[in-house]
């Protein structure tokens, strides 16, 4: 997904049976290697030694495949298909005809069981939604449970009505968020863990102590795989042949790979080599100029540019509390100065379609909300002539009262405000080593400086980047709001960039609106932003919803609280067909362009075939 600087040379050792190990200095031994024809090698998620496999741990702490939205070990109630926008069955079934703005209804699959044979039940769900690492109280006020009985009436051996399952109604918390869209997001985001395992542990040790447990020794899980082994160099999963979903969801078929291995590489370069050589089967890492690898059997969703399906929108979040970034005219000049064609062609290897103004992506899921007539309100993103773009920015700055000074040799001296005061150099904060983002920032800085804006790259390590983002300790910062494609888009992207409901001052932690746009109580405050964000999740009329999104998008383009830079895939979905074939593609779209570990992409595991 992103580039990482190489810290140590990773050795790739291919055993006689074809198993690949990844480690520093080749410390792993080939003995006990897994049969290559039974093993699927996937990478791009885990970049360091696993810290914990505890599903109650904070998501950022838990290792693959427990942290995040992975379905291989612990499963969510439903999954989201990013190709068609459908919510698909897993542990449960979304009862659409009974769901509304008051509650979202899910029937648990009566076939779903844990690996110890116990049935997945409503207590497990309520446990994770109330004691898990994600706080759901503001979105869900209660979870009501009803027992489902066989119809027509049937009796069990005890002469009582036969129970066939449970129905859960997730009650939308109207006193807090009043947002059924966010409830739908939670249903596919929260992985369910076994309450009958964790509740006794919590009663004995306390929740905080239980969260510290590694949970790596044959954990009780519901998914098709379980943890077999791990080290600082790899994580190994083994197929559960008694997985409940084989019969209930996949016509009795087993997943094709018996083992799934995530090698832990030190950089994207090493994973790219392994993918090209067939030692790695699929990756979600950024591979520049992937067309050079196609001759080696590396493939993508599309055969031709843009190669990947768009799903996310990286952008520069602007600290609107700092001068001159609190001036929307200056912000619009910043956005105009960027060569977006160069970003698309060189920084991200033409892996995207041309950027359009606004905060809505032109995809089959979101594109219906774009109003082409309104896009003229946004800054001109298509100025390919550099001299024309520079003159346009200088004119915008002059109209807003800003000026610039250059040396006789054309080097920028500084940018000045209307009082003639030199504006301190601005910096774009971005993680060091994320190679695609580094290239984006470098191109943006070059364009801005040529146009007379004193700005520089600010590449920092993760220990500086994440705290700076939350506390607002930045001028501009690279960010990818709502990186996961979910049922709430594009609402969730607008919410993360523009919502002032949870507005926080500089220094306090902000989970949304990290740029502190639209501060309540100020003369510039626009209450219609929060009003629209509150109304859209409750709208059922598509025409009214489209009009609401139109108004939000117009406000975004007028005020430019952030600078979208390009469209990127949710995952860089790359695969090799040397060992495993029948991967989904645009020509064979039986599953979304995702590695077979997340959302609806997991179904790929039951469709893979060995190469002849």
SS (H, E, C) 252-314: CCCCCCCEEEEECCCCHHHHHHHHHCCCCCEECCCCCCHHHCHHHCEEECCCCCCCCCCCECC
Mean pLDDT throughout 57-76? Answer: 93
Q: From the centroid of its chain, how far is CA 213?
A: 26
Residue with tokens 């905060």: 359
Q: To which H or E segment does residue 22 belong? A: strand 20-24
Residue with tokens 């190709």: 83
Domains of the chain: 10-49+231-302+572-610 (3.40.190.10), 78-200 (3.90.76.10), 315-564 (3.10.105.10)
Q: Give the residue among 288, 284, 299 at the shortest CA–CA distance from 64.
A: 284
Residue 547 has pLDDT above 90, yes or no: yes
Distance CA 495, CA 181 (A): 12
Residue 152 has pLDDT above 90, yes or no: no
Residue 111 has pLDDT above 80, yes or no: yes
Tokens found for residue 239: 């197929």
Q: How confident is the model at residue 150 (pLDDT cuts 50, 70, 90)?
A: confident
* pLDDT 10s digits, 201-250: 999 999 999 999 999 999 999 999 999 999 999 999 999 999 999 999 99
Cβ-contact 412, 454 below 8 angstroms = yes
Q: Give the residue among 281, 293, 262, 260 at the shortest CA–CA distance from 578.
A: 281
DSSP 8-state class, residue 381: -
Q: How confident is the model at residue 158 (pLDDT cuts 50, 70, 90)?
A: low
Cβ-contact 592, 601 below 8 angstroms = yes
- Altogether, the residues listed in the chain come to a count of 612
Q: Record the pTM.
A: 0.90
* Confidence at residue 156, expressed as pLDDT on a 0 to 100 scale: 58
Average model confidence (pLDDT) for the chain? 92
Distance CA 440, CA 315 (A): 10
Distant-in-sequence, close-in-space partners of 265: CB < 8 Å, separation ≥ 6: 10, 22, 43, 47, 271, 274
* pLDDT 10s digits, 35-45: 999 999 999 99
* Confidence at residue 313, expressed as pLDDT on a 0 to 100 scale: 96
* Confidence at residue 268, expressed as pLDDT on a 0 to 100 scale: 80
Percent residues over pLDDT 70 in the chain:
93
> Residue 388, class by beta-carbon neighbours within 10 Å (0-12 exposed, 13-18 middle, 19+ buried)?
exposed
Mean pLDDT throughout 135-146? Answer: 96
* pLDDT 10s digits, 292-322: 888 788 999 999 999 999 999 999 999 999 9
Mean pLDDT throughout 524-548? Answer: 97
* Confidence at residue 11, expressed as pLDDT on a 0 to 100 scale: 30
Q: How confident is the model at residue 270 (pLDDT cuts 50, 70, 90)?
A: confident
Q: Which residues are bridge partners to 66 per DSSP? A: none
């Amino acid at each position: 997904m992103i580039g990482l600087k190489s810290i140590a040379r990773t050795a790739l050792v291919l055993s006689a049976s074809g198993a690949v190990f990844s480690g520093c200095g080749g410390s792993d031994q080939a003995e006990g290697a897994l049969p290559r024809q039974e093993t699927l090698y996937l990478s791009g998620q885990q970049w360091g030694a696993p810290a914990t496999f505890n599903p109650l741990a904070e998501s950022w702490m838990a290792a693959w495949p427990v942290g995040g939205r992975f379905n291989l070990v612990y499963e969510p109630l439903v999954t989201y298909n990013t190709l068609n926008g459908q919510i698909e069955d897993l542990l449960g079934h979304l009862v659409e005809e009974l769901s509304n703005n008051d509650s979202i209804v899910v029937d648990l699959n009566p076939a779903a069981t844990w690996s110890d044979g116990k049935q997945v039940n409503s207590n497990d769900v309520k446990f994770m939604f109330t004691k898990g690492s994600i706080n759901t109280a503001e979105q869900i006020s209660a979870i009501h449970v009803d027992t489902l009985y066989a119809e027509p009436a049937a009796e069990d051996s005890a002469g009582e009505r036969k129970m066939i399952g449970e129905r859960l109604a997730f009650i939308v918390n109207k006193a807090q968020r009043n947002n059924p869209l966010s409830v739908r997001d939670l249903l596919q985001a929260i992985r369910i863990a076994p309450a009958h395992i964790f509740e006794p542990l919590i009663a004995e040790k306390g929740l905080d102590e239980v969260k510290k447990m590694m949970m790596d020794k044959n954990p009780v899980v519901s998914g098709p795989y379980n943890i077999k082994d791990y080290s600082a160099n790899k994580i190994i999963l083994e197929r559960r042949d008694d997985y409940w979903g084989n019969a209930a969801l996949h016509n009795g078929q087993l997943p094709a790979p018996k083992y799934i291995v995530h090698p832990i590489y030190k950089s994207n370069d090493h994973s790219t080599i392994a993918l090209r050589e067939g030692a790695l089967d699929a990756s979600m890492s950024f591979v520049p100029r992937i067309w050079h690898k196609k001759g080696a059997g590396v493939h993508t969703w599309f055969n031709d540019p843009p190669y990947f399906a768009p799903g996310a929108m990286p952008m520069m979040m602007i600290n609107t509390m700092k001068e001159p970034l609190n001036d929307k005219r200056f912000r619009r000049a910043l956005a105009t100065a960027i060569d977006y064609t160069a970003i698309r062609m060189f920084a991200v290897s033409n892996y995207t379609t041309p950027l359009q103004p606004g905060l809505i992506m032109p995809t089959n899921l979101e594109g219906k909300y774009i109003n082409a007539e309104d896009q003229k309100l946004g800054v001109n993103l298509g100025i390919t002539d550099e001299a024309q773009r520079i003159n346009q920015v200088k004119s915008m700055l002059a109209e807003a009262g800003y000026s610039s000074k250059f040396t006789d040799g054309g080097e920028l001296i500084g940018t000045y405000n209307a009082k003639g005061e030199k504006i301190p150099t601005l910096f774009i904060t971005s993680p060091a080593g994320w190679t695609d983002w580094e290239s984006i920032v470098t191109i943006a800085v070059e364009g801005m400086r040529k146009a007379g804006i004193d700005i520089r790259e600010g590449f920092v390590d993760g220990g500086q980047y994440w705290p700076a983002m939350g506390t607002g300790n930045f001028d501009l910062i690279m960010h990818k709001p709502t990186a996961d494609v979910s049922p709430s888009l594009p609402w969730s992207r607008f919410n993360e960039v523009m919502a002032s409901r949870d507005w926080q001052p500089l220094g306090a932690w902000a989970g949304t609106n990290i740029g502190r746009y639209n501060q309540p109580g100020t003369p510039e405050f626009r209450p219609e932003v929060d009003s629209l964000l509150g109304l859209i999740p409750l709208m059922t009329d598509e025409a009214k919803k489209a009009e609401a999104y139109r108004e939000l998008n117009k406000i975004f383009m007028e005020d430019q609280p952030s600078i979208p830079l390009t469209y990127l895939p949710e995952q860089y979905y790359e695969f090799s067909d040397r060992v495993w074939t029948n991967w989904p593609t645009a020509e064979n779209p039986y599953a979304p362009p995702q590695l077979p570990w997340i959302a609806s992409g997991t179904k790929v595991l039951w469709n893979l075939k060995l190469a002849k």
